[in-house]
Chain A
Amino acid sequence: MTTQHIELTVNGEAREADVEPRLLLVHLLRDVFLMTGTHIGCDTSNCGACTVLVDGESAKSCTMLAVSAEGRSIKTIEGMADGANLHALQQAFWDQHGLQCGFCTPGMIMQASWLLARNPDPTDMEIREGIAGNLCRCTGYVNIVKAIEQAATELRAPASTDAPAEPAVAS
């Protein structure tokens, strides 16, 4: 088994690892870095539970090799809150009952953060299309859509709260 040395940034921190080329990014995060907030729900890139941001673009981390992420900047659910301060999306998912079992939630929040960075004022259907690659089995999506609307409103308000005002894109 040959391994390759990779360096990358995860939630702003420089990380490195020796990995097999076949190691999936999601397993690098979960099994090597022990950051288990990113989940796995399918084998075929359909469910989106493993969604993270890679250089600011949402990606299904089960469909990217760790070696392909070398040198890139990864943002995961663990990087969303600023210490005790929740990100506006985290707060909104809580406020609006946008989660039940919580398994799809990290991927859903990461995808929503990508969506709002690109479209700060999405319509109901734009939100629904924006999370079309993320399956939820519990909520029926109604409250997820409401949560994303709440966060969008919050993030658009100029420095009105302690939530980060800049779009949630990894730098």
Chain B
Amino acid sequence: MIPAQFDYVRPAALHEALQILVDRQGDAKILSGGYSLLPLLKLRLASPALLVDIRDIDGLDDIVETTNGLRIGGRATHRQIHENPVVIAGYPLLVDAAGGIGDPQVRNWGTIGGSCAHADPSSDWPAVLIATNASIVLHSVSGSRTVPARGFFLDTFQTAIEPTELLTEVIIPRAPRPSGAAYAKLERRAGDFATVGVAAQLSLGADGRISAAGIGLTAVAEAPFAATGAEAALVGHEPNEATFQAAGIAAAAESRPGTDSHGPIEYKRAMVKEMVVRALRSAATRAQAQR
């Protein structure tokens, strides 16, 4: 499998890259780790005229914790995130998700920004960003804007990114403690895309009840989405099995899976419930540990 011809540039600075996006509007595609884009090019499912490789732009792969939360550069690889001490210390949901993406080589090179911009409906990061109420920073020549993850993933392979914009950063707010989060992924085999992926985050109030909840689902709709019905079923309730089951049932009802080689609709809905419950159990255990 051989890609069609394209031109290639590797700008050294962000403003250069952004200017290229303006100059070659609609023709240009950002190349980051390549593990989403290159297979598409090889299968000739995409044939952009120009690839803009952001490899040499400094500062795009930083992972820093600020008062606003965790800021992860768009070019940070899955492995950088998985092994980052700050992430390990405070964001187990990210560790769960990053460690299960693809295989080791994919994690060495694939990036969070590339994954989100590509917006495969089965990819893992979008569910995490939705569950955590993260926001996504987009830069263009005219400045930057921040889009909530919950308004970012519009449709299959479609996001809120304009053709002149580059995804530079994701910001994951720190959840009020005590909180816990977990990613539960059902895959047919190691390295497979998810049959169902569930990111769940819970915060507990002083009364021990769930004070805030985020549930992001992947692979069970045209795009990853927030299971707001499930979230509503959690908030204000005790973090117990009955609550989790209710949330699972709600999430299954609001998912919109299609039939494919991973299974029929009925199975996927059932797996949404099952994996939501499993993710919530882990998240609750982690939250309790913070009390």
Contact = CB atoms under 8 A, between A and B. Distances in A.
Given A64-B109, A133-B191, A45 B39 contact: yes
B19 to A, nearest CB: 19
A44 B103 CA distance: 13
A2 interface: yes
Contact of A63 (B8, B39, B43, B191): B39
B102 A63 contact: no
A108 to B, nearest CB: 12
Interface string A69-113: 010000000000000000000000000000000000000000100
A65 B4 CA distance: 13
Q: How large is the interface on B (under 10, 10 to 19, 20 to 34, 35 or more residues)?
A: 20 to 34
A21 B51 contact: yes
B289 interface: no
A22 B102 contact: no
A167 interface: no
B3 A22 contact: yes
Interface string B1-24: 111111110100000000000000
Contact of B190 (A4, A45, A51, A132): A132
Nearest to A53: B108
A14 B77 CA distance: 27
A20 B104 CA distance: 28
Interface in A118-134: 129-134
A155 B2 CA distance: 39
Contacts of A58: 104-105, 108
B55 A68 contact: yes
Contacts of B41: 22
Which of B38, B103, B105, B109 has the most A CB atoms < 10 Å from its CB? Answer: B105
A1 interface: yes
B104 A115 contact: yes
A67 B109 contact: no
A67 B8 contact: yes
Contacts of B4: 22
Nearest to A27: B2
Contacts of A132: 103-104, 190-191
A131 B282 CA distance: 27
A45 B106 contact: yes
B102 A133 contact: yes
Given A65-B8, A67-B8, A45 B35 contact: yes
A59 interface: yes
B5 A22 contact: yes
Interface in A3-56: 4, 20-22, 24, 43-46, 48, 51
Interface of A: 1-2, 4, 20-22, 24, 43-46, 48, 51, 57-60, 62-65, 67-68, 70, 111, 114-115, 129-134
Listed from nearest, the 8 A-B pairs whose CB atoms lie closest are A133-B103, A21-B8, A43-B1, A132-B190, A57-B108, A22-B3, A63-B38, A132-B103
